[in-house]
Copies of this chain bind each other. A is one copy, B any other.
C-alpha cells in the first residue's frame, strides 16, 4: 500500500512572480487545464483582489478535477477577519480551498507587522477559523518558517499549533528566502512532526536560490511531509520555486519514491510532461531551457563520443531513465550515422521514403545545419522542414511564383481627430504563366488594425488562380516571433501555425532581419505545404 503524496501547483500564483512573467487570463486558463490533465491535486489560481487578471481568472475559472485554490494573506491587524476586505476578496472567489500566508518568524512579526507575538497568534487563529467557518478547506503557508524556527523554535511551532487547532487542513512549511539547505530542511521537518504537527497535514514549499529546491523538497518528504508545492519549469519569485517538472518524474520513476508513494499522476500523463513544459515556454515566448532535467532538449543528448557509441548498443549505459517515459527524445549528434537514421525517420513521417545511404541525406543534413545556424528552427516547423527536404530531393512541384509584394503601414489622424493606423498589402504572383495582382488591408471585423502581416496574409491568399479553392479552408491560428540574435544586428524568426478544414495543423518558419519579410516567408511556406499535400492526394 503506497502512501499518498499530494501535489500543489502554484505556477499561476508564485510562478507569476517570476521577473518578466505576466500571464493573461486566457493563458492562466490554458495552463490550469494542462495542470489538470497532468493530474496535480491543487491548482493555486492567483490572489483574488490583487489584480484584474486574477479576478477575471476566478470569475471564469475552468472546471478542473484538481482543487482550484485562491491565495491570500491572514487578516490585517486591527480589524476582525469578517471585516477585512482583502480577506473577503479571497473568499469571494468562491473556491472550496483557500490558502493564506502568515508570519511564523518573530523578526517578521515584529518588523513587518509591528505587532506582538501573541497578537500574531490571534490573527492566525481568527483567519483560519474564519475560512473554516465559511465552509472552506483552509491551507496555511507558514512564511519564513525555517528561518523563523532557527531564530525561535518555540514560537514558530506555536504558530503551527495555533493554525492546526483552528482547523487548517494543510500547514505548509515555506523556505521563503530559499536559503535553507536540504539537510537542515530534513532535520527541521522531522522536529516539527515530533512537536505534534502530523506529517499527513504538512506541506513543503521551497525556492531555488541555492539550486537545491528539488533536493530540499525530497528531504522534507523523506522526513514525513505529505504535500509538495512547486511550479511548472520552476517558475517563481527570484530563482524560482521547486520544479514540479523535475519532481514529478523523480517521484514516479526513481527509488525509493516510486515504490513508496502515489502522487496521483499516471504513467500516461507523465508522457505529456515534456509537451506541457514546452507549452508553458511557448506561452511565455521563452526559449525552453535545454539542460532542464527530464524535459530539456539536451536531457538525453549524448555528445561525448564514448557515450554516443555505447548508447547505440544499449541506451541504459548512459541514461538513468528512458526518455519516452516523460515524452522526451534521445538526441545523437547529426554528424554521425545515427543522425542520418534519425533524418530518415523524419522524412518517412513526412511521406518521403529515402533509401539508406542516399547522398541526398547528407545534403539535407548540411542544409538543415546551415539554416539552423541562421536562425531557422526545423524542430518546431516540421512543414518547412518537409519543403526543404522535397527541394533537396527534387520532389517539390512547381506551384506558383511570387513576383513581388509591397506592404504599407500608415498612422495618421482620422476624421474624428484620433490617431489610427492601417496597413495595406499588394502581392503579385504568377500561376500557370499568368500574373495575378491582389490587394488587402489589415482591418478585422470590428474595424481594428491587425497590422502588416495580416494584410499580407490576406492579399497572398486572395487569388492563387487554380489553387485558390484548395486554400479556402485554411486559416492562420498562431503567430510567434523571436529575435534570434540580439543587438543592432537583430534577426527575426517567425513561426506560423496553420489549420485546415481536415483538422490538420502545421508549422512553418521564416527568418530575416526584416520582420515583415520573415513573416512573409513563413506564410508562403504555410500555403506551399498545404498545396503540396492537397495536390498530391
Which residues of A are in contact with B by a Cβ distance under 8 Å?
A: 16-20, 22, 24, 26-27, 50-53, 73, 107-108, 111-112, 176-183, 208-212, 214-216, 218-219, 222, 234, 237-240, 243, 246, 250, 254, 282-283, 285, 287, 289-294, 296-307, 310, 313-314, 317-321, 331, 333, 335-337, 369-370, 372-373, 375, 377, 379-380, 402-413, 421, 423, 442, 448-453, 475-488, 490, 492, 512-517, 520
Contact = CB atoms under 8 A, between A and B. Distances in A.
A183 to B, nearest CB: 6
A371 to B, nearest CB: 11
Nearest to A286: B482
The majority secondary structure among interface residues of chain A is mixed
A180 to B, nearest CB: 8
Choose among A285, A411, A421 the residue with the greatest number of B CB atoms under 10 Å from its CB.
A411
Contact of A404 (B112, B246, B404, B413): B413
A317 B111 contact: yes
Given A112-B317, A411-B404, A298 B19 contact: yes
A239 B292 contact: yes
Contact of A209 (B210, B320, B492): B320
Contacts of A319: 177
Given A52-B370, A215-B214, A218-B182, A451 B513 contact: yes
A450 B514 contact: yes
Choose among A379, A421, A448 the residue with the greatest number of B CB atoms under 10 Å from its CB.
A421
Nearest to A301: B19
A484 B481 CA distance: 10
A516 B17 contact: no
A481 B515 CA distance: 10
A22 B238 contact: no
B182 A215 contact: yes
A406 B404 contact: no
Nearest to A101: B306
Contact of A183 (B216, B222, B238, B294): B222
Contacts of A373: 24, 51-53
Contacts of A370: 52
Nearest to A517: B421
29 contacts: A17-B337, A18-B303, A19-B333, A20-B379, A22-B372, A24-B375, A27-B485, A27-B486, A73-B306, A107-B317, A179-B320, A182-B182, A182-B215, A211-B293, A214-B215, A215-B216, A237-B304, A239-B299, A285-B483, A405-B410, A405-B412, A421-B517, A442-B514, A475-B488, A478-B488, A479-B488, A480-B483, A481-B481, A481-B492
Contacts of A331: 19
A373 B178 CA distance: 29
Given A51-B337, A214-B215, A452-B452, 13 more contacts: A17-B304, A19-B331, A20-B377, A52-B370, A112-B317, A179-B321, A210-B246, A211-B211, A238-B298, A407-B410, A421-B514, A449-B514, A480-B486
Nearest to A491: B24
